[in-house]
Chains A and B, each alone.
Chain A
Amino acid sequence: MPEVGAIATKVRSKNAGPFWLTIDIFCGGADAFAQIRDGLSTERVASLFGADARTLRRFDIPALNVIKFSLPRPRVQGSIDDPDMHGASWAALLAEVEIN
């Protein structure tokens, strides 16, 4: 089964302020968009980040072939156990998920 990162053109993550993380999946085309949209459930993404699915926001944006997730940061930015000040490495966790 392919990984999300292998299907998509680019997966990036970043802070959306100190308390939120946002992850953008640039699918690169309508087929890849449909494959990732249908193969990647919101619940699975929430569990990947240890988040409550109810707090996770999902945007499927066909005009850009982008799927976006925003969720409370796994660790508040800059807290003593925050491993990633800019929130930029979390994208890899999602890029490595295998889907059908």
Chain B
Amino acid sequence: MTRVLIPSGALGLNYDPVALERGLEMQPDIIAIDGGSTDSGPAYLGQGVSKYSRASTLVEWQGLMEARARAGVPLVIGTAGTCGADSAVDWMLDITREAAANLGQKVKIAVLRCSQIQADMADAYADGRITPLGNAPDVNAESFLSATNIVALAGAEQVAAAIETGADVIIAGRTTDTAIIAALPLMRGCHAGAAWHGAKIGECGALCATNPQSGVIVVDFDDDGFTVTPLADGAHAKPETVFAHMLYENSDPFILYEPGGHLDVTEADYTALDERRVRVTGSRWVPSDLYTVKLEGAGVAGYQSVILAVLRDSRYVAGAQEWAADIVTRCRAKVESRLGLSPESFHIEIRLIGQTASFGALETRHDMPLETGAMGIVTAETPELAQEIAKMLNPYLLHHPLTQEEEQPTFAFPFSPAEMQRGAVYEFRLNHVLQLRDPMDAFRLEVLEVA
């Protein structure tokens, strides 16, 4: 049996210290926590930075390092620093050094690096070793060469290699959400289907139970299944809550692709052991012929300035769509003539907050709100151009009338300066997999000691 303690769905989201204490009393074999995801958008990967505050991350990580020392087991974080790029791994390593110093701990650290060299990936693409997944964007050599960061998602094999170093703390760059949980059970010969399935169920902590915000759970893996135990007061796992987590952020609730194969839970059986715990058996792991890892890449899509005005006059609120469309047409023409820009080299959108900002043209309801925010979003090839265009958009958002005949209106601006520079905006470039001969081919492992 292998017992994995999962303190939270992500480092930075906090965890329940009382529940964590209960987890430690259960003598886990490893403590595993996820550090990131693509869920908050491409900028974190594009910039190679964390979404969460350093101060919060330090406090939570220090608490886990203390727990680890008491339990005498490894502590592993996957997708360190939200995106798992080398710069985010270094950020996490720096936090680990600070926490170790604060705690007076001597720790052996294994660092698994997942960043890829752009030119190598362009070559791999040219060689046909990179292939697209569903709804992948079109790519060419330039997509790889101009990416600011490309990471490969490590699976259980690479995390196992890090665990095998005997490190106290493992800081892994980009991993699949499940790999850090599945690795040790797989190393110890637990049921492979159960290892991956239990890892998927546990990857968001107590999200697979009632009281999902409580975070802490324990997953026990054995020869033919796994058992989920949430540890916070008021947290209960039920067959429905456990099964339902297979749906979460997953396009297929029965199949999960991982490096080296896929998990099939079509025949899985979920049983309540008592009020709190659920036992799952019947999950299946299907190894693949080729060993592939998923790639994530992000690059600069342009530079942005935004500007916000608020319409409160009911006639303008009712006419906001035509008003906005007229402004975009006029402003675009002005930008082309005064800046000499080609129409495809810049983008102006006025997003009507309170009317169609969520769904755009797909909106089905058009009840009139009391007021409407008009958010001008300008994207161009340089920050200077984006700011120039936003300054051309400004007078329209301040004064543009619905009809030529009426007196010049003035709308509410909440900020001065009105134009806010957002800097670079990023885009996801890849939904592809990379073929590897050996699982470690795209990854680097180093071991260091901190005292």
Contact = CB atoms under 8 A, between A and B. Distances in A.
A64 interface: yes
Interface of B: 38-43, 134-137, 240, 243-244, 247-254, 301-302, 304, 347, 349, 351, 357-365, 377, 379, 425-428, 431
Contacts of A68: 247, 253
Contact of A86 (B39, B247, B426): B39
A4 to B, nearest CB: 12
B248 A14 contact: yes
30 contacts: A14-B249, A15-B38, A15-B39, A17-B251, A18-B431, A19-B428, A19-B431, A22-B247, A57-B252, A59-B252, A61-B253, A64-B240, A64-B244, A66-B247, A70-B251, A73-B135, A76-B137, A76-B428, A77-B42, A78-B41, A78-B426, A79-B301, A79-B427, A80-B347, A80-B425, A83-B357, A89-B359, A93-B362, A93-B364, A96-B364
A76 B357 CA distance: 16
Interface string A1-38: 00000000000001111111010101000000000000
A89 B357 CA distance: 11
A83 to B, nearest CB: 6
Contacts of A49: 362
B431 A81 contact: no
B251 A57 contact: yes
Nearest to B133: A19
Among B302, B362, B365, B377, the most chain A Cβ lie within 10 Å of the Cβ of B362
A16 B249 CA distance: 4
A90 B301 CA distance: 24
Ordered nearest first, which 7 A-B pairs have the shortest CB separation?
A: A70-B251, A16-B251, A78-B42, A78-B41, A18-B428, A19-B135, A72-B135
Nearest to B254: A59
Nearest to A49: B362
Interface majority SS (helix, strand, loop, mixed), chain A: loop
B38 A96 contact: no
A16 B379 contact: no
Contact of A77 (B41, B254, B304, B379): B41
Interface string A40-84: 000000001110000101010101101010101110111111011
Contacts of A81: 349, 360
A8 B240 CA distance: 16
Given A18-B42, A57-B252, A78-B42, 5 more contacts: A14-B248, A19-B135, A19-B431, A64-B240, A77-B428
A83 B431 contact: no
Contacts of B42: 18, 77-78
A85 interface: yes
Nearest to A22: B251
A99 interface: no
B428 A48 contact: no
A74 B362 CA distance: 9
Contacts of A24: 244, 247-248
B105 to A, nearest CB: 36
A4 B77 CA distance: 40
B362 A77 contact: no
A58 to B, nearest CB: 11
A81 B378 CA distance: 11
Among B41, B43, B243, B379, the most chain A Cβ lie within 10 Å of the Cβ of B41
A80 B377 contact: yes
Given A63-B243, A76-B137, A85-B40, A15 B364 contact: no
Contacts of A14: 39, 248-249
Contacts of B253: 59, 61, 68
Contacts of B363: 93
Given A17-B38, A18-B42, A86-B40, A93 B427 contact: no
A51 B394 CA distance: 35
